[in-house]
Structure 1
Amino acid sequence: MTHINVLDPGASPLDYYGFELRRHREAAGLTQRQLGDIVNYTGSLVGQIETARKLPTQEFSERVDAALGTGGLLSRLVGLVMRSQLPAWFQQVAELESRAIEICTFQTHMVHGLLQTQAYARAVLGALDDTDLDDRTAVRLARQRIFDKGQPPVLWMVVSEAALRQEVGGAETMREQLVRLLSFEGNRWINVQVLPFSVGVHAGLQGSFNLYRFDRDPSIVYTEGYGSGHPTANPDTVKDCSLRYDHLQAAALSLRESAGLIRRVMEERYGQQPDSGGDPVA
Structure 2
Amino acid sequence: MTHINILDPGASPLDYYGFELRRHRESAGLTQRQLGDIVNYTGSLVGQIETARKLPTPEFSERVDAALGTGGLLSRLVGLVMRSQLPAWFQQVAELEARAVEICTFQTHMVHGLLQTGAYVRAVLGALDDSDLDDRTAVRLARQRIFEKEVPPVLWAVISEAALRQEIGGAETMREQLAHLLSFESNPRINIQVLPYSAGAHAGLQGSFNRYRFMNDPAIVYTEGYGSGHPTANPDTVTDCSLRYDHLRAAALSLKDSAALIRHVMEERYGEQLDPDRAPVA
Which category describes the TM-score, using the shorter chain as reference length? over 0.9
Provide the residue aligned with 2:16 in structure 1: 16
Size of the aligned set, in residue pairs, is: 271
Secondary structure in 1 matching 2:9: coil
- Which letter maps to 1:78? V
- Which letter maps to 2:38? I
Secondary structure in 2 matching 1:103: strand
Secondary structure in 2 matching 1:6: coil
- Which letter maps to 2:171? A
Q: CA deviation at 1:6?
A: 2.5
1:244 aligns with 2:231: no
- Which letter maps to 1:222? Y
Provide the residue aligned with 1:119 in structure 2: 119
* Distance in 1, Cα, partners of 2:21 & 2:9: 11
Within a 5 Å distance, the mapping from 1:214-229 to structure 2 comes to: 214-229=214-229
- Which letter maps to 2:115? L
Provide the residue aligned with 2:280 in structure 1: none
Q: CA deviation at 1:215?
A: 1.2
* Distance in 1, Cα, partners of 2:261 & 2:76: 39
Provide the residue aligned with 2:279 in structure 1: none
List per-residue Cα deviations over 1:66-97 (Å, max 9, x = no partner): 11111111111101100111111101101110
Provide the residue aligned with 1:276 in structure 2: none
Provide the residue aligned with 2:278 in structure 1: none
* Distance in 2, Cα, partners of 1:192 & 1:167: 19
Q: CA deviation at 1:5?
A: 3.2
Aligned identity (percent) is 87
1:7 aligns with 2:7: yes
* Distance in 1, Cα, partners of 2:28 & 2:100: 39
* Distance in 1, Cα, partners of 2:213 & 2:76: 25
After TM superposition, the score normalised by the length of structure 2 is: 0.95
Provide the residue aligned with 2:106 in structure 1: 106
Q: CA deviation at 1:232?
A: 0.5
* Distance in 1, Cα, partners of 2:197 & 2:4: 56
- Which letter maps to 1:94? A
- Which letter maps to 1:18? G
1:76 aligns with 2:76: yes
Provide the residue aligned with 1:139 in structure 2: 139
Secondary structure in 1 matching 2:29: coil
Secondary structure in 1 matching 2:179: helix
4+ aligned runs moved over 4 Å, structure 1: none
Q: CA deviation at 1:242?
A: 0.4
Within a 5 Å distance, the mapping from 1:203-282 to structure 2 comes to: 203-272=203-272
Q: CA deviation at 1:4?
A: 3.9
* Distance in 1, Cα, partners of 2:17 & 2:124: 28
Within a 5 Å distance, the mapping from 1:107-186 to structure 2 comes to: 107-186=107-186
Contact 1:4 1:50 in 2 (8 A): no
Contact 1:266 1:272 in 2 (8 A): no
* Distance in 2, Cα, partners of 1:30 & 1:185: 46
1:202 aligns with 2:202: yes
After TM superposition, the score normalised by the length of structure 1 is: 0.95
Secondary structure in 1 matching 2:152: coil
Q: CA deviation at 1:272?
A: 4.3
* Distance in 1, Cα, partners of 2:242 & 2:199: 19
* Distance in 2, Cα, partners of 1:195 & 1:41: 45
Secondary structure in 2 matching 1:164: helix
* Distance in 2, Cα, partners of 1:116 & 1:53: 27
Provide the residue aligned with 2:42 in structure 1: 42
